[in-house]
Structure 1
Amino acid sequence: MEERVLVAGASGALGLEVMKLLHEQNFPLRGLVFSKDGADKVAEYTDDIWEADASKGNLEIKGITKDVSMVISALGKSVSLFTNRGNSFLENDFYANSNILDDALKNGVKRFVYVSIKGVEEAPEYEITKAHKMFEDALKASGIDHTIIRPVGFFSGLHDLAIMAKRKAIPIVGDGSARTNSIHQKDLANVVVQNLKEGSEILEVGGPLIHTRLEMAEMIEKKIGGKIVKVPEKVAEWGMFLPELVNEDVSAKLKYFKYITTHDMIGEKHGSLTFEEYLENLDLKDLP
């Protein structure tokens, strides 16, 4: 049987880079996307495209892994405050991936590579990390050969700060001393593809350089403008309860944003693309 690969979340920032790399390596590909717009994005790499909401139940994606040898899932709810597909983190990160895993087990898929998130062990109390941890546990219990990749965050996930910079404010919670080595989605895609056929059970992955949150904010300020605004942690804590009165989704994202920006989030160094280079090539017209 051909080594056909299913990429779930194929039209996302990471999924597209994974599709591109696998296409260059002549893998037969199947892409799972959520919308017609997503299907249009991946059409360059395959004509085997499924458009479905995997969280809605097994019937939505029944047979999606038929004739598939390996699954890569970059499927999950965006943590951006400016993006909301409607479903909860539990639905998008746990139920959707669980339904794909169930189908994979029925169809004899050999291997499953799952892109999770750093923090599932250290901070499982947040809605975002809890949903990822639940699927990690299900994947481990399934018995299928797998690798779980936990990025500390990738550059496109920092678009919120760039968007806010366009609106003249760059918020930093606390003093900005927490460190991270976020990774470019192209470098992260390389890590994913390198672990397609075999790899460690869990990898915590970052980019080549470690910066403080303040240093990254200063790079954004230099590139885009705006003013860095330091928000005391206690003020941020109180502010995060208010959105719950209107929008639980925003509240969950704000709480996790506060956590990751006030704790060191460092993974094993990979890749070569730096945050400064990423900002230099960022087209501000693409940001709302």
Structure 2
Amino acid sequence: MKKPNVLLAGATGYLGSYILKELLTNEYPTRIIVRHKNKIPELTPAPEIIEAEVTHPDTLSNAFSGIDVVISTIGITRQKDGLTYMDVDYKANVNLVNKALEHGVKKFIYVSVLNGTKIRDLKIGEAKEKFVDYLTASGLDFCIIRPNGFFSDMRDFLKMAKRGKVYLFGDGKLKLNPIHGEDLAKVCVSSIHLPDREINIGGPDLLSQNEIAELALAAYSKPVKIIHLPDWIRKLTLWTARTFTGSSTYGPIEFFLTTMVMDMEAPCFGTHKLEDFFREEARKQS
């Protein structure tokens, strides 16, 4: 059976690069949208590359011809180039949906975040969930992938551990199971053929924040020193950031500080271990 033609938006990002590799490994006819072709390494087989700006819909005209499925990982963690979460996480993805509708695309797969409906009051959550609303009302077949955090997001634990202490809010007993990009890419690509409209997903190991802190400290052969901070410090930090900084600064801060006191447990999947990731990252820095 002929595999569908896939358009991937966000191929140069952390997750997008793994999805691209997974698509090519499984021989999907693949086209990617990039701002600059020179950011894509030579690959065999090679994807078709379209230079375009997802924030400028007039540049997307040549990207959608013959496409059956769109996968979008478009989103920003830290605002830059004067662009906001609403500009990228919402409007840029809306541009992709509109072009998909114009060209008869059959399915749109979007990577959002676990518990997105619970963080709509955050700048990043507002933009992502507004787009989810737009996609679900568009008439396209769709799938929303909701990971609970990437291994790369856990580098904040490593940064603290390298200095010998990890600071947590509360008792550190809340659990999460972040997922490696390679494992998440398999979920994204498999969703092309799945009927699911929403997939919550995490990595194979469900760990408390205390356990993650211990793994990070162990990666640097540091003794276990975990400082549990009262919640009023978190709330004060949030208030201060929102009051005295712009959204480009406080957006990532409010997301991190809010999800750190949420249950971020998701169905377990994959083979990559956070412990191994921490050890490898620490080795690179030694």
What is the TM-score normalised by the length of structure 1? 0.88
Q: Could you tell me whether the CA contact under 8 Å between 2:37 and 2:51 is conserved in 1?
A: yes
Change (3 A) 1:232 1:45: farther
Output one character per residue of 1:81-114: Cα deviation in whole Å (capped at 9) or x when no partner. Answer: xx84542111111111110111011011111111
d(CA) in 2 for partners of 1:252, 1:66: 36
The correspondence of residues 254-273 of structure 1 with structure 2, limited to 5 A, is 254-273=253-272
d(CA) in 1 for partners of 2:108, 2:19: 14
Output one character per residue of 1:143-180: Cα deviation in whole Å (capped at 9) or x when no partner. Answer: 11111111111111222332344455533222212111
Change (3 A) 1:50 1:224: farther
Larger radius of gyration: 2
d(CA) in 2 for partners of 1:54, 1:17: 20
Q: Could you tell me whether the CA contact under 8 Å between 2:77 and 2:252 is conserved in 1?
A: no
Instruction: Select 1:135's aligned residue among 131, 134, 137.
Output: 131
Supply the AA of the counterpart residue of 2:20.
M
The equivalent of 1:74 in structure 2 is 73
Structure 2 residues without counterparts, runs of 5 or longer: none
d(CA) in 2 for partners of 1:35, 1:176: 42
d(CA) in 2 for partners of 1:153, 1:162: 15
d(CA) in 2 for partners of 1:188, 1:219: 22
d(CA) in 2 for partners of 1:247, 1:162: 27
Secondary structure of residue in 2 paired with 1:195: helix
Whether 1:183 aligns to 2:179 is yes
d(CA) in 1 for partners of 2:173, 2:26: 41
Output one character per residue of 1:99-138: Cα deviation in whole Å (capped at 9) or x when no partner. Answer: 0111011011111111110121223211111111111111
Change (3 A) 1:283 1:221: closer
Q: Could you tell me whether the CA contact under 8 Å between 1:151 and 1:205 is conserved in 2?
A: yes
Supply the AA of the counterpart residue of 1:202.
E
Q: Could you tell me whether the CA contact under 8 Å between 1:173 and 1:236 is conserved in 2?
A: yes
d(CA) in 2 for partners of 1:35, 1:166: 35
d(CA) in 2 for partners of 1:201, 1:175: 35
Supply the AA of the counterpart residue of 2:63.
I
Question: Greater CA deviation, 169-178 or 250-259?
Answer: 169-178
The equivalent of 1:51 in structure 2 is 51
For this pair of structures, how many residues does the alignment match?
Answer: 282
Whether 1:14 aligns to 2:12 is no
Secondary structure of residue in 2 paired with 1:282: helix
Q: Could you tell me whether the CA contact under 8 Å between 1:221 and 1:228 is conserved in 2?
A: no
Structure 1 residues without counterparts, runs of 5 or longer: none
Output one character per residue of 1:213-240: Cα deviation in whole Å (capped at 9) or x when no partner. Answer: 1211111111136754433221121122
Secondary structure of residue in 2 paired with 1:7: strand
Output one character per residue of 1:178-227: Cα deviation in whole Å (capped at 9) or x when no partner. Answer: 11111111111111111113330011111112111121111111113675
d(CA) in 1 for partners of 2:16, 2:201: 16
The equivalent of 1:241 in structure 2 is 239
The equivalent of 2:111 in structure 1 is 115
The equivalent of 1:60 in structure 2 is 59
Secondary structure of residue in 2 paired with 1:268: coil
Output one character per residue of 1:48-101: Cα deviation in whole Å (capped at 9) or x when no partner. Answer: 22333312x31132232112111111111126xxx8454211111111111011
The equivalent of 1:211 in structure 2 is 207
d(CA) in 1 for partners of 2:168, 2:24: 39
Question: Greater CA deviation, 109-118 or 1-10?
Answer: 1-10
Change (3 A) 1:92 1:45: farther
Instruction: Select 2:146's aligned residue among 146, 150, 162.
Output: 150
The equivalent of 1:4 in structure 2 is 5
Whether 1:159 aligns to 2:155 is yes
The correspondence of residues 79-118 of structure 1 with structure 2, limited to 5 A, is 84=80, 86-118=82-114
d(CA) in 2 for partners of 1:119, 1:177: 18
Aligned alpha-carbon RMSD (Å): 2.4
Change (3 A) 1:125 1:36: same
Question: How much does 1:44 deviate?
Answer: 5.7
d(CA) in 1 for partners of 2:138, 2:112: 17
What is the TM-score normalised by the length of structure 2? 0.89
